[in-house]
Amino acid sequence: MSGLESLYQELILDHSRRPHGKGLSADAAATSHQVNPTCGDEITLGVRVDGDRVVDVTWDGVGCSISQASASMLASLVEEEGGLSRSAASALIDGFRAALRSRGETPLDEDTFGDAAALSGVSKYTARVKCAMLAWVAFEDALAKA
């Protein structure tokens, strides 16, 4: 394992152990519950919006370190950006999905995706892509409902 892969693995484990945004907010504009039937991972994600901006993402869930870390990284990214416009959120979701479906051909850019760039390597393991995508699918669905 290269030094970068080792660093990314530690980042994933850190987000899994000390998750950001965990604990659903009672004032979410919309929530989405998603389940990965292959492995049983579950995420319920809530979004809080202010006009055209997503101002907060909170979540609760159970599952593997990848699904839990991915939800944490997503919540952290929205928080670090100070919120996102709906169009920016949609672009992030689309970019994340494209990278994870690329089978390692398209890495996630750290400047755009923050800590979630550590999930780039997951794209080489098709069984794990659904784990990493779970929170992002919930995010997309909750945004559509909000």
Looking at 3.40.50.2300, 1.25.40.10, 3.90.1010.10, 3.40.50.170, the CATH number of the domain 3-145 comes to 3.90.1010.10
Using a pLDDT cut of 90, give the percent of the chain over it. 82
Domain ranges of the chain: 3-145
Does the pLDDT at position 72 exceed 90? Answer: yes
The sheet that has 30-35: what strands, in order across it?
Answer: 30-35, 42-50, 53-62, 84-85
b/e per residue, 22-55, with b = 16+ CB within 10 A? eeeeeebbebbebebeebebbbbbbbbbeeebbe
Look at residue 51 in the predicted model and tell me its pLDDT: 92
**DSSP-derived secondary structure for 21-57:** SBS--TT-SEEEEEE-TTT--EEEEEEEEETTEEEEE
Phi first, then psi: give them for residue 104, nearest 5 degrees. 90, 0
Does the pLDDT at position 90 exceed 70? Answer: yes
Look at residue 81 in the predicted model and tell me its pLDDT: 86
Nearest to 115 by CA among 135, 145, 130, 101: 135
**pTM for the whole thing?**
0.93
